[in-house]
Amino acid sequence: MEIAVSEHLIRVMVVAPKGRLDVNSVAELQKQLDALFGDGVPRIVIDLSAVPFLDSAGMAVLVGTLKSANQQQGNVVLVWPAEEAARRVLALTKFDRIFTIAETVSDAVDAF
Amino acid sequence: MTQREYEPIVLEMPATYTHLELLEPCVRLLVKQISGLAEPDVVAYNLVLGVHEICTNITRHGYHNEPGGRLSVIMAYEAATRQIVIQIEDHGAPFDPSSVPPPNLEQGQAGGYGLFLVRQLFDDVSYCTEPGKNTWRLVKAL
């Protein structure tokens, strides 16, 4: 009997902004996210646990990144913000339907 | 017994993204003064977010991100009706809120959530424009 064994490693990039994710800071996050594309299938975890405030500009970057990743057969998984009010706003905008959102980075990585 | 007087907070500032950070401490101070609130942190966050979105739109669309624009934010708690009323005035280009379609929440879109959030987070949202002045009025019942 011939048995072939091979190991496959899936690379997942974890991006963890700290601080407000809003119209003032999104350009910086966008730049960081853009740098992750172009080198294989994009599998990205965006850890929002240390984001105390998220506005529509921040949400736009998240969705834009998801759509770009999907176009390259990749995906974006989020980690819930620790801030309860921010979590509720993500639920209000149904982000929990268009994204997989995990409680921890470990869970988010496992989602791939 | 007389009702406690709540002084409005008036913030008059340049219409720039940088100055938006002034909104949060003012809103939180207003909310802190109101007794008997369930989840004051959530209330404050939602108010900040709504006002932030309006001010962002004014900066971007009313003043096209050009220097020199200014806006006023008047925040008040009306104890008699137990409502927070926030009025935002600018002198930039007028805006037509009815021209903004609601976002596609099922599929998500890269943009267009701002006004939707404002309408969800406040109980009454109105806008009026007259020559030289535009005014948003946001009301949140507590």
Q: What is the mean pLDDT of chain A?
A: 94
For residue A85, give the nearest of B42, B111, B112 by CB distance. Answer: B42
- pTM greater than 0.90 (yes/no): yes
pLDDT, average across residues B105-133: 93
Name chain A contacts of B20, Cβ cutoff 8 Å: 22-24
Model ipTM value: 0.91
Predicted local distance difference test score (pLDDT) of residue A38: 79
Greater pLDDT, B107 or B4? B107
φ, ψ dihedrals at A96, nearest 5°: -75, -5
Which chain B residues contact residue A56 at CB under 8 A?
53, 56, 111-114, 117
Surface-to-core class of residue B70, CB atoms within 10 Å of its CB (0-12 exposed, 13-18 middle, 19+ buried): middle
Picking from A1-10, B65-74, B83-92, which range would have the lowest pLDDT averaged per residue?
Answer: A1-10
Q: How many CB atoms lie within 10 A of CB B64?
A: 10
Q: Which residues of B94-131 are buried (b: 16+ CB within 10 A; e: fewer)?
A: ebeeeeeeebeeeebbbebbbbbbbbebbeebebeeee
Cβ-Cβ contacts under 8 Å, B113 against chain A: 56, 59-60, 93
Predicted pLDDT of residue B2: 43
Q: How far apart are the first and last CA of chain B?
A: 22
Q: What is the mean pLDDT of residues B77-101?
A: 94
Q: Does B73 touch chain A (CB under 8 A)?
A: no
Is A88–B42 a contact, with Cβ atoms under 8 angstroms apart?
Answer: yes
* Kind and range of the H or E run holding A92: helix A84-92
C-alpha A36 chain-centroid distance: 12
